Structure 1
């Protein structure tokens, strides 16, 4: 990656809700790729975009211009059909759009001090939420209709999170996660867990959304670092691992499953009965695995756990190995895919399995029929 393009080569990069595809926005247009094959599925060169949000693998996109062309205002949201190449609807706002999230029932639009909830089929506005100033458009969204939660900062001075139920259209809870303002957050796909990091970036915390109190705490490092992204592994219950990418260029894997087993064992000890779980988990680095120099330091990255599986450990009878497929998008213009393996002794290994330039790859060719159902 020595000849990597400028860190500003990509204006936005995001995976879809199940990580099967991803989209990037550049100063020239936007592109959609298949995560499994790396194939370019669709491209449109019509100007600069700062938001390109997919609805799973359908033909519906929510796109927002960067304002570099008069027709692509950052205050205008366009719902775009990749099959027809035409705009379906446009929504205009008084201030710039900072983030957009979707599931099959709801459309969420995040502005500096307001968040709008729409019915995605009728585009009827269902609720308007006044928020604290949210300069980064920081939010987390669980696309499941059974536990469809939206989370965003509740304070500008500390790391408090407001969790809102977008189906019931009401506030669910507020979580005091950190002493410093928030820098990153993610909800598990089923909405059961939320992970957060503050601007200090030294501690990653996981809370159970239902009661907002049960948490895991993991130490990322001693020195402050900007956390660019957080991602849970796919799971219907407790995710096996939590992933974080940081400005140091490292990718961090935290083993939730191992921590849960250790917590159960420790609760029967004298030390476990007097020392809070959150304190002892923070001090224990046994569940933290790091891939150093995964991407160039300082380049913004978005890392997700695309797949996870348990495979037999041939070296030990009746033991299984946890194997994760980790995909990383960088704003420098690269896609990288790593394989991470954690054995029963909690030892990890990493391999780089794929890498390509997002700006130079060619499709076979980029036809709209390749995207959408």
Structure 2
């Protein structure tokens, strides 16, 4: 890892729903990059933005200003067309917008004490959800229309999450995941699983959304650390990888579902060979936890996602021989990193940094 400045250069960073593009907000404007090539695809330099959210690979961009100028109020959401350069619609609120999420049918707007659910094409408001004070705008959203859930904190004193079905507009369940308040959470892209971390930051838990049962529980470390981001790999079903970035500067990888493969389960034949949802000890075998130490400067906020997972199996026995993945990381001091990861049949991790570039100095004339 290069020795970069630890001072924050980005005000926001987000990947689109399939991780093919990502948007970053700076004090000068908003920039969109192609994740696969590193190419800067779009730039709008009109002022500071604290939210920039894409809708898949479309030209629709949801942006919220930082309030440095009257036209970029943090209480105004602008739906913007990056192709035509036109503002399509604006929504104004009484308090600052803390988060925005979208899929092809729903638009979610998170305020400190409310969440609004809109039909995205007509911007008809479908539901208003009163929430506990949520000053960080913490939420998780699954873009899948068949299992389209929104997760919000249920308490300010413990780590509980409320899950709403925003297609049918009803409360689905409450999950009591931690003793301390929530600090991070993410839903898998198919809406089947939710991963959570508390402000303590030592335990990460994964629950099955359908019946709110605990499926996995991982110990990230012994010492408290702020979890900046959680991200599931793109697999539609397990095995998969969960990535967690933290204030320690290390990125933690947890392999889910690999115990069902005979060769991998030899490492822990007793406990891991019999994983079923709802029958899990508090801490999973450490053999299924891998760490990229010092991937980011300590204290620098980062957002890590697993954007590709390939499971290599023996064609004759269906045994899992290796798991290969591509991990992308955005650091808030203004850098993009891409890693190749490989976990072999002995459950040993190897990784290499294959690409790194400065998000602020990249130009639109070539790939990075």
TM-score range, shorter chain: over 0.9
Instruction: Show the counterpart of 1:352.
Output: 353
- Count residues with an aligned counterpart: 360
Q: Is the 8 A contact 1:113 1:133 kept in 2?
A: yes
- Inter-CA distance 294–69: structure 2 relative to 1 (3 Å threshold): same
In 2, Cα distance between equivalents of 1:147 and 1:237:
14
Matching residue of 1:228: 228
Q: Tell me which residue corresponds to 1:37.
A: 37
Q: Which has the higher contact order (CA 8 A, sep 6+)?
A: 1
TM-score in terms of structure 1 length? 0.92
Judge conservation of contact 1:174–1:212 (CA < 8 Å) in 2: yes
String of CA shifts for 1:201-248, please: whole Å, max 9, x gaps.
Answer: 000000000000132100000000000000111121235111100100
- Cα distance in structure 2, aligned partners of 1:67 and 1:287: 44
Secondary structure of 1:68 counterpart = coil
* Secondary structure in 1 matching 2:283: helix
| Distance change in 2, residues 1:319/1:142 (3 Å) | closer
1:266 to 1:317, Cα distance in 2 relative to 1, 3 A = closer
Q: In 1, distance between residues paired with 2:30 and 2:324?
A: 32
Q: Distance in 2 between matches of 1:5 and 1:223?
A: 25
Give the structure 2 partner of residue 213 of structure 1: 213
Report 1:13-162 matches (<5 A). Answer: 13-162=13-162
Please state how far the C-alpha of 1:283 moved relative to its aligned partner.
5.4
Secondary structure of the residue that 2:258 maps to in structure 1?
A: helix
Shift of 1:319: 5.2
Give the Cα separation in 2 of the matches to 1:330 and 1:95: 28
Query: CA-atom RMSD, angstroms?
Result: 2.4
Secondary structure of the residue that 2:280 maps to in structure 1?
helix
CA distance in 2 between partners of 1:51 and 1:317 (Å):
44
Cα separation, partners in 2 of 1:146 and 1:214, compared to 1, 3 Å: same
Large movers: runs of 4+ above 6 Å:
none
In 2, Cα distance between the equivalents of 1:245 and 1:318? 30
- TM-score for both structures, normalised by structure 2: 0.93
CA contact (8 A) 2:108 2:118 kept: yes
1:97 Cα shift? 0.2
5+ long unaligned stretches in structure 1? 367-373
